[in-house]
Structure 1
Amino acid sequence: MNKKTHKLLSWIIVILWLLIIFSLSSQPAKDSNRLSESVTKQVVKATQKVSIPNIQIEPRRNALKKLNDVIRKYAHVAVYLVLGILVINAFVISGIKGCKAFFFSLMFCFLYAATDEIHQVFVPGRGAKATDVLIDGIGAFTGIIIYELIFKICQKTKTESSSKRL
């Protein structure tokens, strides 16, 4: 695959991921909550750690609601972690490296998170939260750091293997 195709493909993947995020953010609050509740129920079912047999129903519902809220926040982190990795990869493949790639990637992800929150103002039952932008930014930052660490390890391994051949 030539460089131009590789660059184009990396940005197409970023755009597809942005569309997935947009699609998830476009769900009305009830649909979004229903989706996360089904994930929460699967987590509870898989771990059986939230199941406390001798308590009343109301405290149990509160525990499930709190767990659901936590899972929703972790979903923000996970989705933007992937975005961070995809965006810095696209910048690096496009020839932007080092601190510039790091900064541009982080700003790109923060700006998208902010515009995504603004978009949610127009979705029934949803709203914009600055804390969600921060959580999204933390996810993106983590993804970018992971990418950088893996990139440095790969570069070091590549350098060591080529110096051994000499």
Structure 2
Amino acid sequence: MRKIVAWLIVVLWMLLIFYFSQQSVFESRDLSTMITKRLIEIVEKVTPIENMKLDQIHYLVRKNAHFNIYFLLGISALLALKISGIKGYCSVVIALIICMIYAVTDEFHQLFVLGRGAQVKDVLIDLVGATTGITIASLIGMIRKSRMAQSKQESLKVSVHKYDREQW
């Protein structure tokens, strides 16, 4: 059941990416402009933004969206693979391949959407996001595994020590 849920999350995330990619340039621009304006309002409550034009911030919001959405795709693909029994380096490589293929096909798909186009730069940003997500998830997994091994080792030492005392 966990396997099905994990892969369902990957597929649903891909569908969300597809949904955003199928929006015309006008819908996409309106959505990101709305998000940009909202972010500016939030940031300016904390600190004033100087020497930054709306277009510059809007560009950063759009490119960060690419990074973040593939960051999460990378993590979810890696976890789905691990839950499916594919471990170690192999799961990392396969997760990267899944993200790379999806990023390329997503940009290709945009060639057929009104006002949109394919950009190699976006594929690269997608891959950096996926790679970062996969790397962070892998590091967290290794740290967790190491801590669990340490904990097991410590509890084994306590058990052995307790056994030794009982023998005397």
> Normalising by structure 1, what TM-score?
0.89
1:127 paired to 2:117? yes
1:80-159 equivalences under 5 Å are: 80-159=70-149
1:50 alignment partner in structure 2: 49
Q: Aligned match of 2:5 in 5, 9, 14?
A: 9
Please report how far the alpha carbon of residue 70 of structure 1 lies from its aligned counterpart in structure 2 after TM superposition: 0.8
Per the alignment, residue 20 of structure 2 pairs with 24
CA distance in 1, matches of 2:147, 2:29: 45
Match of 1:64 in 2: 54
CA distance in 1, matches of 2:123, 2:103: 5
> How big is the shift at 1:88?
0.5
User: How many residue pairs are counted as aligned between the two chains?
Assistant: 153
CA–CA separation in structure 1 for the residues paired with 2:102 and 2:134: 15
Q: Deviations over 1:41-93 (max 9, x none)?
A: 011111123367xxxxxxx7xx1011101110001000000000000011111
The unaligned stretches of length 5 or more in structure 1 are: 53-59
Q: Residue type matched to 2:96 in 1?
A: L
CA distance in 2, matches of 1:117, 1:50: 32
- Extract unaligned runs of 5+ from structure 2: 157-168
Pick which of 104-113 and 156-165 moved more.
156-165
- Say which SS state the counterpart of residue 116 (structure 1) adopts: helix
1:34 aligns with 30
Give the 3-state SS of the residue equivalent to 1:125 in structure 2. Answer: coil
Q: Distance in 1 between matches of 2:12 and 2:148?
A: 31
State the shift of 1:141 in Å.
0.1
1: CA distance, partners of 2:50 / 2:12? 38
Shift >6 Å, 4+ stretches: none
Deviation at 1:8, TM superposition (A): 1.3
2:64 to 59, 74, 77: 74
Q: CA RMSD in A?
A: 1.2
Does structure 2 retain, via aligned residues, the 8 Å contact 1:113–1:137?
A: yes
Q: Compute the displacement of 1:25 (Å).
A: 0.6
For residues 69 and 135 of structure 1, the distance between their equivalents in structure 2, rounded to whole angstroms, comes to 13
Q: TM-score w.r.t. structure 2 length? A: 0.88
AA partner of residue 148 (structure 2): K
